[in-house]
Amino acid sequence: MSIRTTSDYLAMFTRRTLRTSRLALIIALCGAMVIVGACAPKKGEMLVDELVKGASFHGTNGLKIGPDGNLYVASVLGKEILILDPSTGTVIDRYGAEDGVVGPDDLVFGPDGSLYWTDILSGEVGRRAPDGTVTKQLVAPFVNPIAFNAEGRLFVAQAFVADGLFELDPELIGPPRQILGTGDPTYHLNGFEFGTDGYLYAPRQQLGDLVKIDVDTGEVEVVTDAIFGETALDSNKDLYVSGHGAIYQFDPSTGDYEVIAEVPPATDNIAFDAQDNIYISNFRDGSIHRLSADGKLEEISPGGMIAPGGITVLPNAEGGETIYVADFWTVRAYDAEDGSAGPVGMDFFFDSPFTASTDGENLILTSWFGNTVELWDPVSQTILGFDEFNVPINAIPFMGEIVVAELGTGSVVSATLGGDRRTLAEELIVPAGLAASEDDLWVGDWASGVVYQIVKDGNSLDTPEIVVEGLTTPEGMALDEDGTLLVVESMLGQLTRVDLDSGETSVVVDGLAIGLPAAPEWPPTWFFNSVTVSKDGAIYITGDTGIVVYRISWK
């Protein structure tokens, strides 16, 4: 599978979407209050409900107890560092884009009390001094784990795209010193710590082992292939490893290990406080747990959906309907009437799903992160078809094929998975929303605010026809049961109805908690705010800012 680096995306968006990336950074987000818009109700009084409320955070990653005793948590997808009361999980403060935080995956405190973090989305390392001064240094794409040794030397490494290990100037002024780096992502390192013997202990997750590294010579030695996972030190500097749904105490001198607790799956990192309580983050559901020294496991911040993107509806065996939501690391299922959670779908690693559409009894999932489109069976939870595309933003079924909006080519293509392709529209800036009837197809351009019809009566149009223009960042689109087009205008926080014959627009609902800005140089649609319509006419919308699924119905 082709994995794009930060520089690859930079080149791409410099060519096509520089202006939209700038726009994403200056948008003021709408509040969470939902206000019924001017559109006349279809069937009577319109009701807008938060059917599903997700986790408090967009995933939780690296975490540490700070010198002030508070819990500091990195959130890559939320693009922020959270400062929490460790006893209650209450948010005390947040560091975000205005503080130089771009996409933090791991963090550590230096000897002088400075907070350091790795911005995996930009390849930078940041430092926030005790006086609040922020310094940043570009190191390498997908820089991730970070740790100080006992001598106050600072080390970071790449994850997922390469295996570089670097020593940094703690002032982030001098150039990085590269210690390791073959360019092979198989050997990448993740959350690491220094043992009392001076070696750096790091998991190599794709190889399933734990290694120790001499940071002066670059010598790497496998210490065990029985366990692997992020490492942490307790108050006695004893080494612990998280992984396989458990936390282990590990003796590096003998290779022996002992399970001290079972923990929820998808644990990202662990951290100890002065009393040896263990704090546990979760990349998939955004939860934070505390494991007390007496073995009691307590959830101090509940988990759930973290990055709602594409949404679609399928009938279920009970005669009702199930909504499926693409949630970056997984696909989540909820009852369409009461929002109760169903089974969580398979985990995705590089193929993180951003949009979902219905193709018979299966789902079409797209991932611009993995450059893939997949046909997925939600019952057997198996991938039935797979193909690579050039930064696919969205995909839907149409006339026996799959139609894909490709950001990398600025086009809409029709294809069979693993088969031939043909271009239906090109020279778009950010093709995003797709909607179709039996033989008509529309696409929305996120950057220009134009919706085009590109197939009419089964025939591709040589020149796409403008249906409506002047929209603001149109993302998800769907045909309503009356034949009008529903469009999510993400940065306005509203759902808009478009008359396809006249191009006239009306607001269905506004004040939605949507429109989370993307990280710089990444696709501006980010999680993708989506809309779908059920067989009974209910409308469902995903809200990325509020981590919510809205249901619009009438009575």
CATH number for 113? 2.130.10.10
Within-domain flag for 1: no
Which of the listed residues 301, 324, 358 is the one where a domain comes to its end?
301
Same-domain pairing of 75 and 123: yes
If you ran DSSP here, which 8-state letter would residue 16 be given? Answer: H
Q: Residues 218-228: pLDDT tens digits?
A: 999 999 998 88
| pLDDT average, residue stretch 162-181 | 96
Same-domain pairing of 246 and 372: no
Same-domain pairing of 267 and 370: no
Rounded-to-10 torsion of CA 227, 232, 233, 235: -120
The lowest-confidence range among 263-267, 345-349, 379-383, 456-460 is: 345-349
Q: What is the total count of domains within the chain?
A: 2
Same-domain pairing of 141 and 192: yes
Q: Residues 315-335: pLDDT tens digits?
A: 988 889 999 999 999 999 999
| pLDDT greater at residue 33 or residue 28 | 33
The lowest-confidence range among 1-10, 20-29, 411-420 is: 20-29
CATH number for 372? 2.120.10.30
pLDDT for the residue numbered 347:
57
Same-domain pairing of 244 and 141: yes
Same-domain pairing of 28 and 77: no
If you ran DSSP here, which 8-state letter would residue 526 be given? Answer: T
Q: Is pLDDT at 283 greater than 60 in this prediction?
A: yes
Sequence-ordered strand ranges (E) for 152-194 = 154-158, 165-168, 177-180, 193-194
Question: Strand 297-301 relative to strand 288-291: parallel, antiparallel, unpaired?
Answer: antiparallel
Q: Is pLDDT at 457 greater than 50 in this prediction?
A: yes
Q: Is pLDDT at 26 greater than 90 in this prediction?
A: no
| pLDDT greater at residue 319 or residue 199 | 199
CA dihedral (92, 97, 102, 103) positive or negative: positive
Within-domain flag for 501: yes
Same-domain pairing of 34 and 71: no
Within-domain flag for 362: yes
**What does residue 21 show for φ and ψ, rounded to 5 degrees?**
-65, -40
Which helix H or strand E contains 314, and what residues bound it?
strand 311-315
Instruction: Please report, for residues 160, 340, 458, 474, the alpha-carbon distance to residue 486 in angstroms, rounded to integers and kept in the order given.
Output: 38, 25, 21, 10
Within-domain flag for 292: yes
Within-domain flag for 258: yes
Q: What's the chain's average pLDDT? A: 89
Same-domain pairing of 158 and 18: no
Which of the listed residues 276, 301, 326 is the one where a domain comes to its end?
301
Within-domain flag for 131: yes
pLDDT for the residue numbered 5:
36
Same-domain pairing of 352 and 418: yes
Amino acid letter, residue 178: Q
Domain extent at residue 410: 6-54+305-554
Q: Is pLDDT at 349 greater than 70 in this prediction?
A: no
Same-domain pairing of 154 and 18: no
Within-domain flag for 460: yes
Which of the listed residues 301, 332, 358 is the one where a domain comes to its end?
301
- Whose CA is closest to 79, among 53, 99, 102, 108? 102
Between CA 1 and CA 265 the distance in angstroms is 25
pLDDT for the residue numbered 418:
82
Within-domain flag for 46: yes
pLDDT for the residue numbered 42:
59
Between CA 328 and CA 542 the distance in angstroms is 13
Burial letters for 449-463: b for 16+ Cβ neighbours within 10 Å, e otherwise?
Answer: bbbbbbbeeeeeeee
CA dihedral (305, 490, 81, 241) positive or negative: positive
Q: Is pLDDT at 356 greater than 50 in this prediction?
A: yes
Same-domain pairing of 121 and 215: yes
Same-domain pairing of 106 and 200: yes
18 band by pLDDT with thresholds 50, 70 and 90: very low
CA triplet 316, 324, 543: central angle to 5 degrees?
A: 140
